[in-house]
Amino acid sequence: MQPGAEPKPTVLLIDDSIDTHRLLRARLKHEAMELLDAFSGEDGLATAKQVKPSLILLDLDMPGMDGFTVLRQLKGDSATATIPVVVLSGTRESEDRITAFDLGAADFITKNLNDPADLAELRARLRAALRMERLLRLLSERAEIDGLTGLGNRAQFNRRFTQELAENQRYGHPFSLAVFDADHFKKVNDTFGHPAGDEVLVGLGKIITASCRQTDVPCRFGGEEFALIMPNTTPADAKVVCERIRQALQAQVWPRHPEHQVTCSAGIAGADGATGLTAEQLLEAADKALYEAKKSGRNRVVLAEPVLAAKGS
């Protein structure tokens, strides 16, 4: 993939037929998408939650958990509810179509993959569904983007923090939250002007983003404060990431004031498993750690005491 290019959308095929998987993989190999396989409803649900594909192709007629049950569970789970689902069916029964659309399907396609006309229609509908998914995603993202840095804004932070913390509480995976604050930021504005201050905020945002994995969520929390949501990351690992960010900012040379070094402080809270804390409690723990970093001299990363990130509400 070229630098800056958007990754291919992922399409999850949930179908119990190995032949269908092989045939679709062959027929769609020239399409701009990555095809993932699931051979049962249960496997499809688990993969959808883990991968969060751009689109799901769902067979109705499967043993055990049928397609309607899978669709109902996908749309009933906040983690997968917004993923568009295109239903595949071997019949043209209008009752099945109505039920699928009532349950939230984005489209309904008759599965006759050996017919060139049906296959061409499948390709066209997949492209259309993926285009719509991308446009809706971009609109959603832009509504939650900070205009200066391009990071998520406070609204995106609130939504994603609540969502990812719920996943942590449900599955017990590691979870960490870091909050950053540019040290003596007012002095930069007062001494070198607001354009120089904006340059620092943009630069810090880029450094945080460059240190992230794709699953992390960097946001501008407000003013000169940033937040980094790190799912599946222990506090110890999060501290390594934050130290890398701190050091990169300290080493940055600024065109408007090359002689002036800018630093940041960071506070981290989280747990190696389920935190047992509400969103407000975890954010408060990270804020207290940030305050301790500021109080103890700035330009440092402080990890909240384990008891803060492990005790119940």
| Complete domains list, the chain, with CATH | 10-142 (3.40.50.2300), 154-303 (3.30.70.270)
pLDDT of residue 145: 86
Neighbours of 53 (CB within 10 A): 24
List active site positions. 224
**What is the pLDDT averaged over residues 304-308?**
66
Distances (CA, A) of 2 to 5, 6, 29, 135, 309: 5, 8, 20, 21, 40
**What is the pLDDT averaged over residues 25-46?**
93
Q: Which residues pair with 248 in a beta bridge?
A: none
pLDDT of residue 293: 97
**What is the pLDDT averaged over residues 59-84?**
89
pLDDT of residue 189: 83
| Confidence band for 6, pLDDT divided at 50, 70 and 90 | low
The whole-angstrom separation of Cα 149 and Cα 113 is 46
Q: What percent of the chain lies above the pLDDT cut of 70?
A: 93
- Whether 307 shows a pLDDT value over 70: the answer reads no
- Whether 309 shows a pLDDT value over 70: the answer reads no
The whole-angstrom separation of Cα 281 and Cα 260 is 36
pLDDT of residue 7: 77
Contact 106, 71 (CB under 8 A): no
Contact 194, 186 (CB under 8 A): no
Contact 303, 296 (CB under 8 A): no
Question: Which string of DSSP letters, residue by residue, matches the chain?
Answer: --TTPPPPPEEEEE-S-HHHHHHHHHHTTTSSSEEEEE-SHHHHHHHHHHH--SEEEEES--SSS-HHHHHHHHHHSTTTTTS-EEEEESS--HHHHHHHHHTT-SEEEE--TTSHHHHHHHHHHHHHHHHHHHHHHHHHHHTTB-TTT-SB-HHHHHHHHHHHHHHHHHH---EEEEEEEETTHHHHHHHH-HHHHHHHHHHHHHHHHHT--TT-EEEEEETTEEEEEEET--HHHHHHHHHHHHHHHHHPPPTT-TT----EEEEEEEESS-----HHHHHHHHHHHHHHHHHTTSS-EEEPPTTTTTS--
**Counting Cβ atoms within 10 Å, is residue 217 exposed (0-12), middle (13-18) or buried (19+)?**
buried
**What is the pLDDT averaged over residues 29-48?**
94
Residue type, 281: Q
pLDDT of residue 306: 65
**What is the pLDDT averaged over residues 103-108?**
90
> For all residues of the chain together, what is the average pLDDT?
89
The whole-angstrom separation of Cα 224 and Cα 149 is 11
- Whether 46 shows a pLDDT value over 50: the answer reads yes
Range from 42-51, 138-147, 193-202 carrying the lowest mean pLDDT: 138-147
| Confidence band for 117, pLDDT divided at 50, 70 and 90 | low
Question: Which string of DSSP letters, residue by residue, matches 25-75?
Answer: HHHTTTSSSEEEEE-SHHHHHHHHHHH--SEEEEES--SSS-HHHHHHHHH
Contact 54, 130 (CB under 8 A): yes
**What is the pLDDT averaged over residues 126-147?**
84
β-pairing, 55-59 with 85-89? Answer: parallel
**pLDDT by residue (tens digit) across 204-220?**
999 999 998 889 999 99
**What is the pLDDT averaged over residues 256-262?**
93
